[in-house]
Structure 1
């Protein structure tokens, strides 16, 4: 059973790392926009209003890499945040230390994943770091299921 101060610490950790992950995802929109302006690539023909010399293409390597990275964040970060919230607020994480390291490892993995993807580093680095983050999320889900089973809430 966690003490009141431990529960408060878990909430603080959840808020901090959630904000970092949300800001990281938001930053991908800005990075995509940066590459669009830099490379004069527009998303739709009507965007020529803002960039008259823009090309409406889907094959600019930098724009597409930033878009894919953003999409990958949108596929992975909300799922993790939902799982982390459920674990923190409705279950009893085994310790503040364990919860904090799950949050740190996922957040760090997603940030590294972005640098690897945008930097076009060769495989297997991107796959390895993605798997680390995925495994952290899996660990949280397993702990939620274990907690639910132990509480006879099924």
Structure 2
């Protein structure tokens, strides 16, 4: 069996699902912000909402950038997390990796939407450190099989 610690894998699945749920929430937040600001970049969307022309809005673009950044960071976490589960990590350490990533990404998204640069950097940095830690442990573990 690839993943020999069911508890670690279930924890990864839980926190990975929370992260994907938040990512979906950011997509919904984008739609809400578009409607609230009456900002639609596609002509057909503007017309559907009774607007004469398409337009952009900084708030919409900010939420879209937060969403794109979430996708860019969630994909490595999901891939690395799956490999990491196969390295037989300590259960407590693995759970803390997953928890810190989710908390960090939540901080990042909230800070991004609210224009908080320091907090956004903190959230990004913590999430990146978690992924780097998992990647390093995966490389060390799997090197002997390469």
State the TM-score, normalizing by the size of structure 2.
0.92
Alignment partners' CA distance in 2, 1:55 and 1:108: 39
> What are structure 2's unaligned runs of at least 5 residues?
none
* Count of residues in correspondence between the two structures: 143
Structure 2 match to 1:137: 131
Indicate which of 98, 103, 114 corresponds to 2:98: 103
Query: What residue in structure 2 maps to residue 27 of structure 1?
Result: 25
Pair 1:84 & 2:81 matched: yes
* Correspondence for 2:62 among 61, 65, 68: 65
Q: Could you report, residue by residue, the CA deviation over 1:19-54 in whole angstroms, capped at 9, with x for unpaired residues?
A: 100111111110000000000011300113421126
Q: Could you say what the CA RMSD is over the residues aligned between the two structures, in angstroms? A: 1.4
Deviations 1:30-89 (A, max 9, x none): 00000000000113001134211265223x12101100000100111111111001111x
Long gaps (5+) in structure 1: none
Q: 2:145 aligns with which of 130, 144, 153?
A: 153
Q: Partner of 1:40 in structure 2? A: 38
Answer whether contact 1:106 1:132 (CA < 8 A) is retained: yes
Return structure 1 stretches of 4+ with deviation > 6 angstroms: none
